[in-house]
Amino acid sequence: MGGLCDSIFRGKLDADQIVANINKLFQGMVIRRFSIDQIKEKVRSRLASGQITDLNGLKQLLDEEIINSEYTETCQELVSEAMKDAQANYNDQTLPLLSLLFLSDSSQDNFLSAFKAVSLAKKGQSAANNIQDVVSAGKQGGILAGIASGFGAIKNVASAAHQAANPNLIRRDELKTLMRYYINFLTLLPVNLLAKHGEGIPMKGYFAKVLNEAFNKDVQNRFVEDTLFVNYNNQEEIDVDQFFGSHYLTLKDDNGLRRGLVNNYISNLSPAQIVQIVSGN
């Protein structure tokens, strides 16, 4: 009898049903129908021109690309939360833009070409900003301030030149930051927004609880470390051809990624935990 009861309750935790709404949210976004070449030019031009500081313009671009007509309120708030996450936790407003590359329609080769072009534009703009900071610091604080500020600028200019000469290479910490941001964007960030706005496929009350637990930050960090970077943590620089050659399909299949995390969470629950979740206790 106990086994039958366990089976009934476990059957209510079906990963496909639990991720159906969040999967539909992402699959119906406008950007999934745009080629990566179109997105690449939008992102690269914004980075190269320094428009990343235009937060209203950035939000407008993200609103246009991430919108799903069945999830209007969820998408609008998701863009705001994505921008807040980028600034508050990473101090890098380019992260939502870079994430657009993964969501667009592309092949692995096209993605790699676009990623390298956008990364180089980002490095070049960062170097230009640092040089301007040196000039400003020198004018305001004299030669010593200019020299002190100059060390960071020299480092960034050298990094941009190094990447131009070696477009296949990216610093491990920079790539890991992008992966952490992107995985959170795909999984945890939209969960409570979906529950809040009630758009799309109706979700049972405990679905949000399961998704919050299955996608929590510890799970995300383990996925990044143990799946994406397990072979790269002793390297200061990573070959992007090699990295995405191994992981592009995993990152591109966001439906499968979310389903896998939920299945892994469910498989580790005890019968008592399953009853507690499904009954809402």
Is residue 197 over pLDDT 90? yes
Distance CA(14)–CA(207), nearest Å, equals 10
Is residue 135 over pLDDT 90? no
What Å distances lie between residue 266 and 5, 43, 269, CA to CA? 16, 38, 5
- Residue-wise burial string across 48-62, b where 16 or more C-beta atoms lie within 10 A, e elsewhere: beeebeeeeebbebb
Per-residue pLDDT band for 187 (boundaries 50, 70, 90) equals: very high
Within the chain, residue ranges assigned H as helices are: 2-11, 15-27, 36-48, 55-66, 72-90, 95-103, 108-165, 172-186, 191-197, 205-214, 217-223, 240-252, 254-267, 271-279
Is residue 183 over pLDDT 90? yes
Q: pLDDT tens across 88-98, in order?
A: 999 999 999 99
Helix axes 95-103, 55-66, angle to 10 degrees: 20
Distance CA(137)–CA(148), nearest Å, equals 9
Q: Which backbone phi and psi does 107 adopt, to 5 degrees?
A: -100, 170
Q: pLDDT tens across 106-124, in order?
A: 999 999 999 999 998 888 6
Nearest to 80 by CA among 92, 62, 98: 62
Q: State the pTM of this model.
A: 0.86
- Give percent of the chain above pLDDT 90: 70
